Structure 1
Amino acid sequence: MDLVLVAIIAINAIVSYKAFGDYSFFRKYEFHVGSIRAGEQYRMFTSAFLHANPTHLIFNMVTLFFFAPVVIFKFGVVGFLMVYFVSLVAGSLLTLYFHKNDYSYRAIGASGAVVGVLFASILIDPDRKINFFIPGYIFGILYLLFSIYGMKAKNDNIGHTAHFGGAIGGYAIALSRMPNMIYDNTLVVIILAVPIVILFIMAKMGKL
């Protein structure tokens, strides 16, 4: 495994476990619209290293563990870091856009960055199987559809909206670095865009 990937997983684990036992630390660095609009923009970055519980942390890191190597192999370490951090920022920006008037809105999680890596990986190798059964692009679609449900249910403070921002970030960077994907994997490119389009349609109709 690449050392950069190990470092990112380790940082997420260390920061998250620190927050599990330190409520004030968690509150200081989580994504909170009111605090961000008051000038604490650092939360848009730091919140991506916090997780709601060990299960949330493990799910994100296992997903990253399985999909990141494909991106590292194809784009190199610098390209992987670009996908990860641009997706992280895109996730936070989209979350702020959707919830800018909800000053009490809170969210945490590396999901935006992880989904960006997931989508880039799927575009690079769309036929790669999850658990030797589910094609990667099906997993990506189901992940985002579940995120729409999470956004509507609002029964946790996991950053479901960030999933879409991250997906857009990973999708855009992968296509910009490998525009031939549009011709070589046209169907997958279109299919992965569908849940993103659904999100914006639902938002426009006031369904979120």
Structure 2
Amino acid sequence: MLSNAVVNLAIIIVTCVVSFAGFSNPRLIDRLILWPPAITRGREYWRLASCGLIHADPPHLLFNMITLYFFGRLMESFFVPRIGEIGYLLFYVGGLVASSLPSWYEHRTDAGYRSLGASGAVSAVLFAFILLMPWATIYVIVLPVPAVIYAVLYLGYTIYMDRQRSDRINHSAHLWGAVYGIVVTGLIEPSVLGAFARQLLRPMVSM
């Protein structure tokens, strides 16, 4: 089914097209970016999801889309038999919204705050994959790391950096996207929770 992961591919294509358009079109960025006052006062709720269509620069876009390509096609093959292609699309869009809501609420009156990128939804897809295959190998640059170990390190780093507020990355979106991916996958297919626990006890076995 991996060759038929058309929804994931469509998400990547649309995101790339809009992101590249945004690199040279500040007005497009301003219209789509997560700017909390526009939601709080202007009720422009689409920004909770549209912020995932734009990126700060090509490396930001490339990292997110490569991650989505490799893990999203696997997760689409998992979700489609259960909730259909539209269901997988809604899972992805829901990841954007769920990862944006905490940032909106925290900065709902902050006119200087802005956030963009698909990282929240990509985290949702990645952590849904980790829930299914905790001992799969994930390559961090060139270093192979078991997925569950990567998850622990990633979440620890994300929580730490979110509290530090020492860079311009929206670490909160990464965290809540990951939580969303785990929770929703568990709700859609509750059996994966037990399978996850069993796999943790058998490190050499993956689904």
Query: For this structure pair, what is the TM-score category when the shorter chain's length is used for normalisation?
Result: 0.7 to 0.9
Could you say what secondary structure the match of 1:127 adopts? coil
The alpha carbon displacement at 1:98 in A equals 2.7
1:130–1:139: 8 Å Cα contact kept in structure 2? yes
Asked if 1:161 is matched to 2:172, the reply is yes
Letter in 2 for 1:75: F
The whole-number CA distance in structure 2 between the counterparts of 1:154 and 1:50 is 23
After superposition, where does 1:85-164 map in structure 2 within 5 Å? 85-131=93-139, 133-151=144-162, 152-156=164-168, 158-164=169-175
The alpha carbon displacement at 1:107 in A equals 0.4
Comparing 52-61 with 144-153, which one deviates more in the overlay?
Answer: 144-153
The whole-number CA distance in structure 1 between the counterparts of 2:199 and 2:161 is 24
Q: Which runs of 5+ in 1 are unaligned?
A: 190-208
The alpha carbon displacement at 1:138 in A equals 2.4
2:7–2:88: 8 Å Cα contact kept in structure 1? no
Letter in 1 for 2:130: I
Asked if 1:60 is matched to 2:64, the reply is yes
1:44–1:92: 8 Å Cα contact kept in structure 2? yes
Letter in 1 for 2:27: S
1:26-64: per-residue Cα shift (whole Å, max 9, x none)?
122111112221222221121111111111111111111
Instruction: Give the number of aligned pairs.
Output: 188
CA RMSD of aligned residues (A): 2.2
The alpha carbon displacement at 1:110 in A equals 0.4
Asked if 1:22 is matched to 2:33, the reply is no
The whole-number CA distance in structure 1 between the counterparts of 2:178 and 2:144 is 22
The alpha carbon displacement at 1:188 in A equals 7.8
Letter in 2 for 1:111: S
What is the aligned partner in structure 2 of residue 195 from structure 1? none
Q: Normalised by the size of structure 2, how large is the TM-score?
A: 0.81
The whole-number CA distance in structure 2 between the counterparts of 1:173 and 1:112 is 14
